[in-house]
Amino acid sequence: MSRKVAILGGIGNAAVIAAAIDHAHRLGATDLEVAGFLNDRTPVGEKIDLYPVIGTLSDTKRLLDEGYWFINAILRIDGNRERIAMFESLGIPDDRLATFVHPMAYVAPSVQLSPGCVVLPQVAMSPGSRLGRGTIMMVGATMGHDNLVGDFCHIAAQACVGSYLTIGKGVHVGLNATIRENLTIGDYATLGMGAVLTKNMGPNEIWAGNPAKFLRYAE
Ligand SMILES: CC(C)(COP(=O)(O)OP(=O)(O)OC[C@H]1O[C@@H](n2cnc3c(N)ncnc32)[C@H](O)[C@@H]1OP(=O)(O)O)[C@@H](O)C(=O)NCCC(=O)NCCS
């Protein structure tokens, strides 16, 4: 029997995740079945890619009562604190956050994925890392070993995350960015696309470039 999953979000991240879950479902590799999106901007009934908007965020409680599972794909790249607080305010219990690993990803057996984590195709994760709730590894991202990653981080496509890192909550690692081993990244920090990070980043800081430098604080 399938578990129906409602994905919070729409155009962009959520649609990418919906397609990956649907693909895995059609292969028989997951019991998750995409019900559609919860989205406050696109009218209910409209489709985003192949999947309908089935409600607004205020429908969460009803869908919880109806037995749905949830994935949070709402993201703001340059500072994610508000969006995460909004998600937390919905009160979805961890045992209804769906964890999804696409069958074309490699995740070492000792990697710990918390509820709500999403791992998309072509991701490779070496042993010993722990990902917090709702953290998402986008297509082709790679992660070294023994990392501690906080809740609701977003590791964008093709990012190359090193080893022995401590990454806070709500961190965005940009497209194709590279992170050296043994560093610390503070909560809600953003690393720009293509960056090469060689130093620690503080909370709410936005860094970019090669080598990456401080650009500004998240608003
Ligand atoms: C780092 C980032 C958040 C900065 O955004 P921003 O504050 O709007 O920055 P701006 O576009 O105003 O650029 C400010 C300056 O930084 C430079 N810059 C911005 N992003 C950069 C990057 N990734 N690498 C190098 N330089 C960058 C700009 O060229 C500009 O330089 P200038 O002042 O000399 O003209 C953004 O550019 C970025 O990289 N976002 C991540 C994209 C991503 O990962 N997408 C995944 C989607 S799921």
pLDDT digits (tens, 9 = 90+) for 90-114: 999 999 999 999 999 999 999 999 9
Q: How far is CA 161 from CA 68, 151, 175, in A?
A: 33, 16, 11
Closest ligand 1 atom number to CA of residue 173: 44
Tokens for 107?
A: 């995740």
pLDDT of residue 40: 96
Average pLDDT over residues 28-37: 98
| Share of residues in the chain with pLDDT > 70 (%) | 100
pLDDT > 90? residue 87: yes
Q: Where does the pLDDT of residue 3 fall: very low under 50, low under 70, confident under 90, or very high at 90 and above?
A: very high
176 lines ligand 1 (CB under 6 A): no
Distance from C-alpha of 147 to C-alpha of 105, rounded to nearest angstrom: 18
Distance 206 CA to ligand 1 centre (A): 9
pLDDT > 90? residue 79: no
Closest ligand 1 atom number to CA of residue 216: 7
Average pLDDT over residues 16-21: 98
**Contact status, residue 131 vs residue 116, Cβ threshold 8 Å:** no
Average pLDDT over residues 131-135: 98
77 lines ligand 1 (CB under 6 A): yes
Chain Cα centroid distance, residue 22: 17
Nearest CA to ligand 1 atom 9: 215
**pLDDT, tens digit, 9 for 90 and up, residues 151-188:** 999 999 999 999 999 999 999 999 999 999 999 999 99
| Share of residues in the chain with pLDDT > 90 (%) | 97
The DSSP result for 186-204, as a single string, is -TT-EE-TT-EE-S-B-TT
Q: Where does the pLDDT of residue 2 fall: very low under 50, low under 70, confident under 90, or very high at 90 and above?
A: very high
Test site for ligand 1: of 188, 193, 205, most ligand atoms within 8 A of the Cβ: 193
Q: Is 122 helix (H, G, I), strand (E, B) or coil?
A: coil
Nearest CA to ligand 1 atom 31: 215
Test site for ligand 1: of 74, 78, 138, 139, most ligand atoms within 8 A of the Cβ: 78
Domains delineated in the chain: 3-74 (3.40.50.20), 100-206 (2.160.10.10)
pLDDT of residue 200: 98
Distance 39 CA to ligand 1 centre (A): 27
pLDDT > 90? residue 1: no
Q: Where does the pLDDT of residue 219 fall: very low under 50, low under 70, confident under 90, or very high at 90 and above?
A: confident
Average of per-residue pLDDT values in the chain? 97
pLDDT of residue 178: 98
Nearest CA to ligand 1 atom 36: 192
Q: What is the pTM of this model?
A: 0.97
Distance from C-alpha of 131 to C-alpha of 15, rounded to nearest angstrom: 22
Test site for ligand 1: of 77, 137, 205, most ligand atoms within 8 A of the Cβ: 77
Average pLDDT over residues 181-199: 98
